[in-house]
Amino acid sequence: MGSSQSLAADAGVQSILDALDKSLDKSLERFDCITARMSASDYNSIARTQNSLLSGPNDAIMPLRSPSTNSAIPGFPATPYAIDQLQAAAADTLLTALEQSTDGSIAAKRERIGIAIGLAVKRNVSEAP
């Protein structure tokens, strides 16, 4: 095989190796994302269980982590009372971080946040006649 053929073959092999390296990098990034999601899911399950046991408006909430990054969510409300005081923009930011819908009134958003973090849902039950 001539030197020009050898160089062409080497370039072809290098091109294949570069493509494989790029594919491996993408796979590792996806694996890291899946690992972060699983870790956040595990942590958030425990946090929701803890939060479901809260009984008062000033009890400390165990904050959830971002489902996609497993990082702390900035401005996470410290108590159920703090959720009830959230303004629309802060509620939207928190719902987005929790990967929840931002539709509806501020009351609906606050309730959705409570449900997402594991707080017991307050039901209005009227007495039967």
Q: Angle CA(76)–CA(106)–CA(80) in degrees, nearest 5?
A: 40
Is residue 52 within 8 Å of 116, Cβ to Cβ?
no
CB 64 within 8 A of CB 49: no
Q: What are the sequence ranges of the domains in the chain? A: 3-117
For residue range 33-76, what is the model confidence (pLDDT) as tens digits? 899 999 999 999 999 999 999 999 999 999 999 999 999 999 99
Distance between CA atoms of residues 54 and 120, nearest Å: 8
18: tokens are 């570069």
What is the pTM assigned to this prediction? 0.75
What is 29-41 written as a DSSP string? HHHHHHHHHHHHH
